[in-house]
């Protein structure tokens, strides 16, 4: 797609928006007598406004992710980035978006808040990407297509060739949520931004990086789209302590933890396959496992009674009687397996039928 075509997708009011200019925007140094922002002059550690452009943080993320800072947006969780793509591209009450189903619930919630119709397209039975059905669900008012790979709650990644076909076939923006990419065998699309001007990639520090409480989500796209998102965001969307702590924590190597989670996932998956109450274990490329069981509500209650909380996804499309189980610490996973084995004995003895 050409720059002009991308520009035509943007809401007219956003195209001409004059963003809020923060007090320190005109001054580039960092020493001086700051009498420009009506802050308290007394040093509490927090008396100054944080950097609205998150320069230090983006410089570090740029090194780690191999993307120029101009193509990185940081938000208050991925949720902020999801909301912003709606506010940048979708005219309330007029435009619509297409999304895979089942997938992450925030796409619909943000659409509903922004008064945007969502056209949910079920995945294929085998959870593969229904590229042609997604494309044919779109019309001239479809601005965005949401996909998620590895997908939540199904756990699988879509082949790069399918994702590529979707991006090339759509005359709008494809939002590719890569929240679980750190656990995946598939490469992130972030190295391929040059090929796809209509692609927005989402990542997060909430999962593999272990910073869910700090609220830091990332979006990568063309400089133009990132500039639009930055213009529409709240000026100080990432608070000062989050910027500081994330910067420090990015020095920690997460690779060993990711390896452990992936090997635990493989072990749990194999054990699950041995139980007779398990009807199907879906392959996972993430840090959770979707499993179809005899009776999801019953097993959910059984585990809860043992103090183990999993996610009951039985009501989700194509997920009848499915639970989504996050991989925990090795000792937590042992407790899970112990509890599942007790359920299995009862199931085998026919205890649940009486």
Ligand X SMILES: *Cc1c(COP(=O)(O)O)cnc(C)c1O
| Of positions 9, 90, 148, 246, contacts ligand X by CB under 6 A | 148
Pick the piece of the chain touching ligand X (CB under 6 A) from 189-197, 206-214, 274-282, 325-333. 206-214
Position with the least CB separation from ligand X: 77
Footprint of ligand X on residues 83-102 (CB under 6 A)?
Answer: none
Considering the rule CB under 6 A, would residue 152 count as an interface residue with ligand X?
A: yes
Q: How far is CA 102 from CA 28, 106, 114, 291, 320, in A?
A: 47, 12, 21, 14, 11
Task: Tell me whether residue 157 or residue 339 sits nearer to ligand X (CB atom).
Answer: 157
Q: Does 212 bind ligand X (CB under 6 A)?
A: yes
Nearest alpha-carbon partner for 300 in 292, 155, 232: 292
> Residues 11, 24, 72, 79: which binds ligand X (CB under 6 A)?
79
Phi, psi dihedrals of residue 300, rounded to the nearest 5°: -55, -45
Among 138, 179, 228, 325, binds ligand X (CB under 6 A): 179
φ and ψ at 113, to 5 degrees? -65, -35
- Classify burial at 130, counting beta carbons within 10 Å of its beta carbon; exposed 0-12, middle 13-18, buried 19 or more: middle
Q: Pattern of binders to ligand X over 59-78, x per CB under 6 A? A: ------------------xx
177 binds ligand X (CB under 6 A): yes
261 φ/ψ angles, rounded to the nearest 5 degrees: -60, -45
Q: Closest approach of Cβ 48 to ligand X, in Å?
A: 26
Residue from the set 73, 89, 104, 300 that interacts with ligand X by CB under 6 A: 104
Structural contact between residues 41 and 47, judged by C-beta atoms closer than 8 angstroms = yes
CA distance readout (Å), 125 to 190, 204, 223: 28, 28, 37
Q: CB-wise, 106 or 308, nearer to ligand X?
A: 106
Kindly list the residues in this chain that would bind ligand X in the complex (CB under 6 A). 77-79, 104, 148, 152, 177, 179, 204, 206-207, 212, 217
């Amino acid at each position: 797609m050409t720059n002009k075509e991308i520009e035509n997708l943007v809401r007219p009011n956003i195209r001409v928006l004059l963003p809020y200019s923060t007090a320190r925007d005109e001054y580039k140094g960092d020493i001086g007598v700051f009498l420009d922002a009506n802050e308290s002059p007394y040093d509490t550690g927090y008396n100054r406004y944080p950097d609205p452009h998150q320069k230090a943080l983006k410089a570090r993320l740029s090194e780690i992710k191999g993307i120029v800072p101009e193509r990185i947006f940081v938000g208050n969780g991925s949720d902020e980035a999801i909301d912003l793509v709606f506010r940048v591209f979708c005219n309330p009450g007029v435009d619509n978006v297409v999304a895979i189903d089942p997938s992450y619930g925030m796409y619909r919630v943000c659409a509903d808040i922004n008064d945007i119709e969502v056209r949910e397209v079920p995945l294929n039975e085998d959870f593969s990407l229904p590229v042609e059905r997604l494309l044919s669900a779109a019309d001239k008012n479809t601005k965005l297509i949401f996909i998620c790979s590895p997908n939540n709650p199904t756990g699988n990644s879509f082949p790069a060739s399918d994702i590529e076909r979707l991006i090339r076939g759509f005359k709008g923006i494809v939002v590719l949520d890569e929240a679980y990419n750190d656990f995946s065998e598939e490469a992130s699309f972030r190295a391929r931004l040059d090929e796809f001007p209509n692609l927005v990639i989402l990542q997060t520090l909430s999962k593999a990086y272990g910073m869910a409480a700090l609220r830091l989500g990332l979006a990568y796209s063309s400089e133009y789209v990132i500039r639009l998102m930055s213009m529409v965001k709240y000026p100080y969307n990432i608070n000062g302590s989050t910027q500081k702590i994330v910067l420090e924590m990015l020095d920690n190597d997460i690779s060993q933890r990711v390896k452990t989670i992936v090997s635990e996932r493989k072990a749990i998956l194999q054990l699950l396959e041995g139980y007779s109450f398990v009807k199907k274990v879906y392959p996972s490329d993430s840090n959770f496992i979707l499993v179809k069981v005899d009776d999801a509500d019953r097993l959910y209650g059984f585990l809860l009674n043992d103090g183990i909380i999993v996610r009951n996804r039985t009501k989700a499309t194509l997920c009848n009687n499915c639970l989504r189980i996050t991989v925990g610490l090795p000792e937590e996973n042992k407790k899970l397996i112990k509890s599942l084995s007790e359920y299995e004995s009862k199931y085998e003895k026919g205890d649940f039928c009486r």
